[in-house]
A and B are shown apart, each in its own frame.
Chain A
Amino acid sequence: MAERGETSSAVGNDAAQVPFTSAQKISKRPKYSRFTQQELPACKPILTPGWVITAFILVGVVFIPIGLASLLASKRVVEIVDRYDEDCIPQSFKNKTLGYMQDDKTNKTCTRSLVVPKLMKSPIYVYYQLSNFYQNHRRYVKSRSDQQLRSKDGEWKTTNCEPESLVGDKGPIVPCGLIAWSLFNDTYKFSVNDTRLDVNKNNIAWDSDRKHKFGSDVYPKNFQSGGLIGGAKLNSSIPLSEQEDLIVWMRTAALPTFRKLYGKIEHDLEANKTITVTIQNNYNTYDFEGKKHLVLSTASWIGGKNDFLGVAYLAVGGICLFSAIAFILVYVLVPRPLGDPSYLSWNRNPAGRWK
């Protein structure tokens, strides 16, 4: 593209370059610099066997301890997972889940017993886990108004929230949008040996959310007052910044199966103790065939229970050590001068045009 202009003017340019008198002729000799002569100091890494083997061993040596540590940390985490969605539907409603969920009169209380397999040290985190729930669906993710959540002034900024934005003539819904509207509303009550276990629901949301994203002067308004009730209702006298369940829920999950923090039990639980959980099974996951789990878990430095990272580290570390050994063997068993030209690819595979 560029050369067109250059050449169309070439005649004129050259005239310009020729000085008027030869006396003032300036040498066109290019100035020396390491940059323009492409002689910048550089290291030229070559994958010599030494380097390759060293790299493999290094990775192996670093990865295997990390893998062991991660695996150990994951193993130390005690986790109780209980799926309750199916068991908490009375037998008679098995095929009419929608009616069961929507009917205010049905009893949705459900009691479960969980056995603690090992000593669980405080804090024990209580999660609910939903699956096949697309919190990352584009329509869903976009259906919120951050301005409205942040401050009172943004109350009317509800354009993204359709169809949960306004209620007739009563003004905007606060918090508006599908995410808030579909707020999870199962509740859990725990007891061990008939002693109630308190669930601490404070500080379950990120600080930054509470302090900066959810306003302390924003109060729920017209929430769940439309025709169709989605999920939980909110206490309209508590500002959003203190509605931690909502805040946790509003941090949408990345994947269709996700856990959300419900609260913390700040008591150690002895092994083999039985925990009785009283569940209010309000939330409808039956329509989209989603499962509901209740999860009690401790956490280690690596987080919750997941062996993947540990195993993966061990595997890769193992592969590397194995490769290192393989390369050493090759090096010992089949030594050859490295610069042996008979290995040249086009000696063996000559180009067709030549004999």
Chain B
Amino acid sequence: MGRGRKRQHHFGRIHTSSSGKDSFFGEHFLIGGPGFSRVVFCNDPDCIEAGNQKYASNYVRSTKYTLATFLPKSLFEQFRRVANIYFLLCALLSFTPMSPYSAISNVLPLVVVIGVTMAKEIIEDWQRKKQDIAVNNRKVKVYCDDGVFNDTKWRDLKVGAVVKVEKDEFFPADLILLSSSYDEAICYVETMNLDGETNLKLKQALDATSKLQEDSDFQNFRAMIRCEDPNANLYSFIGTLDLGQEHHPLSPQQLLLRDSKLRNTDYIFGVVIFTGQDTKVIQNSTAPPSKRSKIERRMDKIVYSLFAFLVLLCTIGSIFFGISTSHDLDGEFMTRWYLRPDDTTIYYDPKRAVVAALLHFVTALMLFSYFIPISLYVSIEIVKVLQSIFINHDLHMYYEEGDKPAQARTSNLNEELGQVDTILSDKTGTLTCNSMEFIKCSVGGTAYGTGVTEVERAIARRKGSSLDEGMAGEEVHTEDKTSVKGFNFTDDRIMNGNWVNEPRADVIQKFLRLLAICHTAIPEVDEETGRISYEAESPDEAAFVIAARELGFEFFERTQTSISVRELDPTYGNKVERTYKLLSILEFSSSRKRMSVIVRDEEGKLLLLSKGADSVMFERLSETGREYVKQTKEHVNEYADAGLRTMVLAYRELDEDEYSEFNEAFTAAKNIVNADREEEIEAVEERIEKGLILLGATAVEDKLQNGVPDCIDKLAQAGIKMWVLTGDKMETAINIGFSCSLLRQGMTQIIINSETPENKSLEKAGDSSATAAAFKASVLHQISQGKALLDASRESPDVLALIIDGNSLTYALEDDAKDMFLDLAIGCASVICCRSSPKQKALVTRLVKLKTGGTTLAIGDGANDVGMLQEADIGVGISGFEGMQAVMSSDIAIAQFRFLERLLLVHGHWCYRRMSSMICYFFYKNIAFGFTLFYFEAYAAFSGETAYNDWYLSFYNVFFTSLPVIALGVFDQDVSDQLCLRFPLLYQEGVQNMLFSWSRILGWALNGILSATCVFFFCISAVETQAFRKGGEVVGFEILGTTMYTCVVWVVNCQMALSINYFTYIQHLFIWGGIIFWYIFLLAYGAMDPDISTTAYMVLYEACAPAFSFWLITLFVLVSSLLPYFIYSAIQMRFFPMYHQMIHWITNDGQSDDPEYCRLVRQRSLKPTTVGYTARYEATSKRFEEVEVEEE
């Protein structure tokens, strides 16, 4: 488009996209009414009236907080958690005399924990702020006085300003297009950021403003726009432009949305109508449903049960306290006279022992708050952020070609990735590349194209019975010989201009010309190389144009009214440029399943060129045009069998009258305002698309993504079930099922199809309710048949596959059928739902999620998968070429399907393992600590006195024990990533939730109680009443507290060291550092003034450290409290190893490098896998063996 910036074109009334221009006239009366009150003063943004309108500023804020709102808002967020409220309450109560510890020591940890969380929020928000600043400070040219456009920052843009946006720039706000560098005032817009569609959209300004093409033209430009209020609807817009006395209607055709990009157009002029928060993009951004992982939900339950336990302990304590207090005073007689029960406060008053007990309950609640790990939530958040960073930075999940790393968009679900039970996958763009390759064609009854498709290869493999074929699955991806993307066609009969020598050269010429003309793609000429690339609505279409180019019909220019093609002239053998006048485009729609163009060639002939699905095209052929129908049909069926997408091409010549008649009707239909417009247009189109002459058919391969069969095989071995939900037709879906080993020979296919002949005839009869009933009956019948098959197969090794089409799915998903359907589906090894709508995808996902109770993962790439992604427990978006819609609503985005293997088997498994160990350990350490407090209580008449110094208490969770847990959550690996992948069944630990089962949680809690018991009772038995060192000194309150605390710190940290699988220097640093830090802290704190250090004054330096018994007690308590766990795990490791421990054994024995041995282990330890090529291989070899046996 580079040459000649302005070319004279006729006003593009023919171009389809201008059709919407006048069509919404009917709604314009709304303007000025409610919801349509916006008034924009064009080119006069600073006038007084505009000032009164209170437009939003164009400053866009994506941050969660502002300076002013940060504190209240983030605090509110923090204290929405029950645990945090509890700690806040404790902190507040600690200022009353009920508190067992000093207020400051209790407030500080809370402040630290809340502070860290808030700091995290600030850091996250700051990242957003930086992006905001970058966006808001972008420059755009805004009209100032005297016909000059000056650079202005986006943030300063005002409603009504006239801006000039240049090629490849983003629109700074929602604009009304006034004019462009084209005389027709059109421009091309890329809306990838909005709706994910990669094709360009055409926008066109009003006639009235289209002449404002120079900067200086705006000097006297004044206009007023009245339009709808800001709303979120991207595809509608209603307004009028008042230019002087004239009112011009405005439609979405003139609306340029913020965050879309100007393409293929040198510049445009536009008026700002919505700014900042008012823009449609920002109005549109909604938060996805927030998801929480199962582990976290269970963790909440643990927290609540700990609360309950805590209340129980407090109650016990309070009862005992009440009893002992009431005994203090018997009339005038005081038993424990040293407490002066005769003259006391309410808290200890024996006369009101019940009240005292109740108040003591509050004290105890505060005291035992150490049962609840205060740092739990913040630690988990930190850990999850770090885990997400690992996912984001994993080089194995970085897609070189697309420059796309994996992206964990929410860190909430990391551990859920380790528990996936069912994967629901989209097909196109997910399993397949969505890059279409032109691979075969049938022209004039002759099939061309020698390329072998992926599916053909798979089928060939399937048919061949050689034993090692199954394992050869990895080498499926042979490198492409052709370097042209979208073109994988080889046939010397046609290529390099050889087609002229073919018997039906004229047909081939027409065929190729049709490919070059009949489309809506836009060429883009690379100015340096002269190479042409195409922007097309769909990849198939691009494949056609590319194929035409490669075969000598190079489409190189499109204007509003013409299409220019460089084509080979068969008579002279040279290239000529031909321009076809584009008269009409009859667009593609899913109901029509075809598109056509009407062009006038250079000789003045009128041609109707059509391409479409075989089902609609064959019936539109004329009697004379059916010459090759038989062969073509055969070819088309062959292609479809090979998993290719087919398209039938046909044409006919029109005469002038016919065309003008059509054009009249077509224009009239387009100008209809009411709801019948679409139908009317279709009817008109229908009338002309008939009597066609068949040229041939094309076949385009929907390529499988790299590594898909391999990945599916691994996932199947990991015991994950895989469902494919696709919008494609059944044959294609089944083909893809075969090529990725979800289906194989010997599998019994249960096909539930509503398109049976009976149903079809019913449909034709037209009685809709009867049809529905019959449909349903037939679906139910088929399901129950399937069930019967399933029941029968339970005994035999037969494996079933369920294939159901969308229409049947509608009935199968109804309330009375869905349980049965699900039973059937779960019993089948693979499930493929084809022709399913986005809604159905979401419904199926929900059904699986709710009914099986397993974790579901949905993976998809397109806007039609959004519902499914949001419905599933985890939504994984493929950040492919389809744009951002799926990614935007996903929880995790990856670039290729095959990365799912690593995401689940490695990251998922690790995260699950880490998170579950971490939470268990958290509860362990707090129970171990809390119980020592409780035991001490029992020895202190339940008076609420703590064994430890206030600061020991408060630092326990924050400093001495928290970092090792975080390190565990971030770094621990039970087995290395290679081994995770080599032994996929390891993943079942997560699916069956073996590491976070209630028994395991309870086990850790009991271990905590055991540790606390060891610590407390061994300590008090060891020091009892006697002197504890040579100097004859006895153990006081502070020395016992310090000793016990030292033991707890040692035990808890060493327990961690014992249970950890992966010791990096960071773990060493944190674990041993935590212990050393305790001693350092004790020294430093003990050296402080006694007013500050109180009971800790000089306690280590003077009393403990010089005493042998202190060290002996520490060593003894440490070893004896770890001994039970050690014996337990030694026995478990030896006799009842879990799967990861098995792998440890294998690695330890050095057998993991022996592939044969690994395979053996896999075989023996596996449930038979049902899908994937390993299963296929096994099935084949089993048959092979059976045959051998029979032969013997």
Given contacts A15-B259, A303-B1027, A304-B1026, contact A42 B1064 (CB under 8 A): yes
Binary CB contact string for chain B from 1085 to 1099 against chain A (1 if under 8 A, 0 otherwise) = 000001100100110
Q: Is the CB of A303 within 8 A of B1029?
A: yes
Binary CB contact string for chain B from 220 to 248 against chain A (1 if under 8 A, 0 otherwise) = 00000000000000000000000000000
Which of A111-119, A167-175, A238-246, A337-345 is found at the contact surface with chain B?
A337-345
28 residue pairs of the A-B complex, CB under 8 angstroms, read: A3-B411, A9-B63, A9-B285, A11-B281, A29-B400, A29-B403, A43-B1063, A44-B1062, A47-B1129, A47-B1130, A59-B1123, A123-B1032, A125-B1027, A134-B943, A139-B347, A146-B1094, A147-B1091, A252-B1037, A253-B1036, A254-B939, A259-B1027, A261-B1032, A261-B1033, A288-B335, A299-B1031, A316-B1119, A343-B1142, A346-B992
Q: Is the CB of B60 within 8 A of A12?
A: yes
Interface residues of B in 804-819 (CB under 8 A from A): none
10 further contact pairs, Cβ within 8 A, besides A12-B281, A163-B344, A252-B1037: A16-B135, A30-B392, A163-B340, A164-B340, A255-B1025, A299-B1027, A306-B1026, A313-B1112, A341-B1142, A347-B1165
Complex: A294 Cα to B428 Cα, angstroms: 90
Binary CB contact string for chain A from 88 to 125 against chain B (1 if under 8 A, 0 otherwise) = 00000000001000000000000000000000000101
Q: Is the CB of B62 within 8 A of A8?
A: yes
Q: Is the CB of B971 within 8 A of A38?
A: yes
> Residue B64 at the A interface, CB < 8 A?
yes
Q: Is the CB of A316 within 8 A of B1116?
A: yes
> Residue A129 at the B interface, CB < 8 A?
yes
Please name the 7 residue pairs, one residue from A and one from B, whose CB atoms are nearest each other, closest first: A9-B62, A304-B1026, A5-B64, A304-B1027, A254-B1040, A36-B393, A125-B1032
Q: Is the CB of B1030 within 8 A of A303?
A: yes
Complex: A15 Cα to B992 Cα, angstroms: 42
Given contacts A208-B1098, A251-B1037, A261-B1032, contact A137 B1165 (CB under 8 A): no
Q: Is the CB of A306 within 8 A of B1036?
A: no
Q: Is the CB of A136 within 8 A of B945?
A: yes
Binary CB contact string for chain A from 305 to 325 against chain B (1 if under 8 A, 0 otherwise) = 110110011001001100100
Interface residues of A in 223-280 (CB under 8 A from B): 228, 230, 251-261, 264
Q: Is the CB of B1120 within 8 A of A312?
A: yes
Q: Is the CB of B1065 within 8 A of A251?
A: no
CB neighbours (8 Å) of A16 from chain B are 131-132, 134-135
> Residue B624 at the A interface, CB < 8 A?
no
Q: Is the CB of B403 within 8 A of A258?
A: no
CB neighbours (8 Å) of A45 from chain B are 1060-1061, 1063
> Residue A302 at the B interface, CB < 8 A?
yes
| A residues apposed to B, CB below 8 Å | 1-18, 20-21, 25, 27-32, 36-38, 40-49, 52, 55, 59, 63, 66, 70, 79, 98, 123, 125, 127, 129, 133-141, 146-147, 150, 162-164, 178, 181-182, 206-208, 212-213, 228, 230, 251-261, 264, 284, 287-289, 297, 299-306, 308-309, 312-313, 316, 319-320, 323, 327, 330, 337-339, 341-347, 350-351, 353-355
Q: Is the CB of B1108 within 8 A of A302?
A: yes
Q: Is the CB of A12 within 8 A of B1037?
A: no
Q: Which of A36, A79, A306 contacts B389 (CB 8 A)?
A: A36
Complex: A37 Cα to B410 Cα, angstroms: 20
Complex: A327 Cα to B1126 Cα, angstroms: 13
Q: Is the CB of A303 within 8 A of B1026?
A: yes
Residue of B nearest to A132 (CB): B336
Complex: A163 Cα to B1133 Cα, angstroms: 61
Given contacts A38-B390, A230-B338, A306-B1022, contact A206 B1061 (CB under 8 A): no
Given contacts A37-B395, A251-B1037, A303-B1107, contact A29 B409 (CB under 8 A): no
Query: B1106 CB to closest chain A CB, in angstroms?
Result: 11
> Residue B1164 at the A interface, CB < 8 A?
yes
CB neighbours (8 Å) of B1164 from chain A are 341-342, 344, 347
CB neighbours (8 Å) of B170 from chain A are 15
Binary CB contact string for chain B from 123 to 138 against chain A (1 if under 8 A, 0 otherwise) = 0110010011011000
Q: Is the CB of A312 within 8 A of B1018?
A: yes
Given contacts A12-B135, A140-B338, A355-B794, contact A129 B1025 (CB under 8 A): yes
Complex: A132 Cα to B1020 Cα, angstroms: 16
Q: Is the CB of A341 within 8 A of B1034?
A: no
Which of B597-605, B837-845, B1143-1151 is found at the contact surface with chain A?
B1143-1151
Interface residues of B in 385-444 (CB under 8 A from A): 389-390, 392-395, 398, 400, 403-405, 409-412
CB neighbours (8 Å) of B288 from chain A are 3, 7
> Residue B1113 at the A interface, CB < 8 A?
yes
> Residue B156 at the A interface, CB < 8 A?
no
Q: Is the CB of A138 within 8 A of B60?
A: no
Q: Is the CB of A338 within 8 A of B1149?
A: yes
Q: Which of B120, B1026, B1129, B1165 contacts A297 (CB 8 A)?
A: B1026
Given contacts A42-B1064, A59-B1119, A254-B1036, contact A213 B128 (CB under 8 A): no
Q: Is the CB of B1032 within 8 A of A308?
A: no
> Residue B484 at the A interface, CB < 8 A?
no
> Residue B612 at the A interface, CB < 8 A?
no
Q: Is the CB of B339 within 8 A of A139?
A: yes
Q: Is the CB of B1108 within 8 A of A346?
A: no
Q: Is the CB of A7 within 8 A of B409?
A: yes
Q: Which of B124, B389, B826, B1108 contacts A301 (CB 8 A)?
A: B1108
CB neighbours (8 Å) of A300 from chain B are 1030
CB neighbours (8 Å) of A323 from chain B are 1127, 1130
Q: Which of A52, A140, A306, A312 contacts B339 (CB 8 A)?
A: A140
Q: Is the CB of A46 within 8 A of B1144?
A: yes
| Interface-centre pick from A30, A37, A46 (highest chain B CB count, 10 A) | A30
Query: A224 CB to closest chain B CB, in angstroms?
Result: 13
> Residue B1035 at the A interface, CB < 8 A?
yes
Q: Is the CB of A133 within 8 A of B338?
A: yes
Query: B190 CB to closest chain A CB, in angstroms?
Result: 11
Q: Is the CB of B348 within 8 A of A139?
A: yes
Q: Is the CB of A178 within 8 A of B1130?
A: no
Complex: A302 Cα to B1031 Cα, angstroms: 10
Interface residues of B in 160-204 (CB under 8 A from A): 168-170, 193-194
CB neighbours (8 Å) of A79 from chain B are 1026
Binary CB contact string for chain B from 766 to 781 against chain A (1 if under 8 A, 0 otherwise) = 0000000000000000
Q: Is the CB of A345 within 8 A of B398?
A: no
Given contacts A45-B1063, A135-B1037, A288-B336, contact A345 B1136 (CB under 8 A): yes
Interface residues of B in 317-346 (CB under 8 A from A): 333-340, 342-345
| Interface-centre pick from B337, B1035, B1094 (highest chain A CB count, 10 A) | B337
Residue of B nearest to A316 (CB): B1120
Complex: A162 Cα to B1066 Cα, angstroms: 51
Interface residues of B in 921-938 (CB under 8 A from A): 936
Q: Is the CB of B1025 within 8 A of A259?
A: yes
Q: Is the CB of A254 within 8 A of B943?
A: no
Interface residues of B in 1099-1155 (CB under 8 A from A): 1102-1103, 1107-1109, 1112-1113, 1115-1116, 1119-1120, 1123, 1126-1127, 1129-1130, 1133-1139, 1142, 1144-1146, 1148-1149, 1151
Complex: A150 Cα to B1091 Cα, angstroms: 9
Complex: A8 Cα to B1018 Cα, angstroms: 56
Q: Is the CB of B398 within 8 A of A29?
A: yes
Q: Is the CB of B335 within 8 A of A255?
A: no
Given contacts A15-B193, A162-B345, contact A264 B1112 (CB under 8 A): no
> Residue B282 at the A interface, CB < 8 A?
yes
Complex: A32 Cα to B395 Cα, angstroms: 7
| Interface-centre pick from A16, A27, A138, A212 (highest chain B CB count, 10 A) | A138
CB neighbours (8 Å) of B1115 from chain A are 66
CB neighbours (8 Å) of A230 from chain B are 337-338
> Residue B888 at the A interface, CB < 8 A?
yes
CB neighbours (8 Å) of A303 from chain B are 1026-1030, 1107, 1109
Q: Is the CB of A42 within 8 A of B1062?
A: yes
Complex: A26 Cα to B888 Cα, angstroms: 22
Q: Is the CB of B1123 within 8 A of A178?
A: no
